[in-house]
Amino acid sequence: MRIERDAYIEKLKEKMWNGSVKVITGLRRCGKSFIVFELFKEYLLSNGTKEDEIVSVDLDNIANAKLRHPIRLYEHIESICKDGKKRFVLIDEIQMVPRIKNPYDKDGGDITFYDTLNGLTKFGYLDIYVTGSNSKMLSTDILTEFRGRGDEIRVHPLSFFEYYSAVGGDRLIAFEVYQRYGGMPYALSIASDESKEKYLRDLFSETYLKDIQERHHIERMDVMEGTIDVLCSSIGSLTNPTNIANTVPEEVSDNTVKTYIDYLKDAFLFSEAKRYDVKGRNYLKYPMKYYCEDIGLRNAR
């Protein structure tokens, strides 16, 4: 099922050739790659851009495993673009490029994908778009690491407007289904309710949680699971890490819970809403409300 996501395409169009690296962030499987590599690429081709003027690198593909290296990725793109011709560069899952030691620096400095992208922007004739699924490596560092030349576009699962534009039919029935299964794009192509539920459960546990566990080397996954269950059962309620730690069945410190919540936020699985102190005119650190990125994922717990 093809789902048009015009609002994001308009954002990409507005930022074309603005001199910044366009960083498209969001939860894995929420449609970032489809937006950039299908919808946006189609727009470019339909408006006069030629195939050889678009350089696409899918780092999630095992065929490009050797390019998950900041120097090799730079050299690969440079070799294609060294003729000085204006091109669009599309890179998928940029966070898969790890930090490495600089082999040319005897003092032991590091090279990251930020160096790769900053180096490519200096050519002046490349318009660069990258997708990523980890906020700590992307959102929080865009202004500093890209030296003012980074521009973030946050992608979410389907809104109800996008969902209904794809499924049609009775609006009330469609909304009831959306409230239950959410807006993860692939779920729309699954026919049975049982299969939808299994897909969302597996996506949560086999994709998101495994990614978090591997990235952060978490040993107490029972605590992580308990933290998620508490968050999912108290969506929209004021809380704090101490209250959550006291609710989790396993004995755990509030600092550990706070760290695990940060990991979930970094993966775009949860977001927070802070309270605003009108009298003091500032945001309060605690308590706050937490929200799951997709209601279907929340219900799958």
Query: Mind listing the pLDDT tens digit of every residue in the chain (301 residues)?
Result: 789 999 999 999 999 999 999 999 999 999 999 999 999 999 999 999 999 999 999 999 999 999 999 999 999 999 999 999 999 999 999 989 999 999 888 777 899 998 999 999 999 999 999 998 876 555 555 556 665 667 889 999 999 999 999 999 999 999 999 999 999 999 999 999 999 999 999 999 999 999 999 989 998 999 999 999 999 999 989 999 999 999 998 889 999 999 999 999 989 999 999 888 766 778 777 789 999 999 999 999 8
User: Is residue 172 a part of any domain in this protein?
Assistant: no
- Would you say 160 and 179 are in contact if contact means Cβ atoms under 8 Å apart? no
- Say if residue 92 is in the same domain as residue 150: yes
pLDDT of residue 40: 98
User: Is residue 171 a part of any domain in this protein?
Assistant: no
pLDDT of residue 282: 80
Contacts for 56 with CB less than 8 Å, ≥ 6 apart: 37, 41, 90, 92
User: Is residue 53 a part of any domain in this protein?
Assistant: yes
User: Is residue 182 a part of any domain in this protein?
Assistant: no
CATH number, residue 42: 3.40.50.300
- Say if residue 224 is in the same domain as residue 111: no
pLDDT of residue 296: 98
pLDDT of residue 108: 74
**Cα separation, 107 vs 92, whole angstroms:** 32
**Cα separation, 245 vs 21, whole angstroms:** 40
- Say if residue 202 is in the same domain as residue 148: no
CATH number, residue 295: 1.10.10.10
pLDDT of residue 13: 98
**Cα separation, 212 vs 139, whole angstroms:** 17
Last residue of a domain, one of 96, 122, 154: 154
Closest CA to 57 of 98, 23, 89: 89
pLDDT of residue 134: 73
- Say if residue 17 is in the same domain as residue 143: yes
User: Is residue 11 a part of any domain in this protein?
Assistant: yes
Total structural domains within the chain: 2
- Say if residue 130 is in the same domain as residue 253: no
User: Is residue 169 a part of any domain in this protein?
Assistant: no
- Say if residue 29 is in the same domain as residue 128: yes
- Say if residue 91 is in the same domain as residue 201: no
Our CA dihedral for 23, 29, 31, 34, rounded to 10 degrees, sits at 90
- Say if residue 205 is in the same domain as residue 131: no
Last residue of a domain, one of 154, 180, 209: 154
The domain of 97 spans 6-154
- Say if residue 122 is in the same domain as residue 17: yes
Last residue of a domain, one of 154, 171, 202: 154
- Say if residue 199 is in the same domain as residue 144: no
**Cα separation, 296 vs 294, whole angstroms:** 5
Q: What values do phi and psi take at 191, rounded to 5? A: -75, -55
User: Is residue 184 a part of any domain in this protein?
Assistant: no
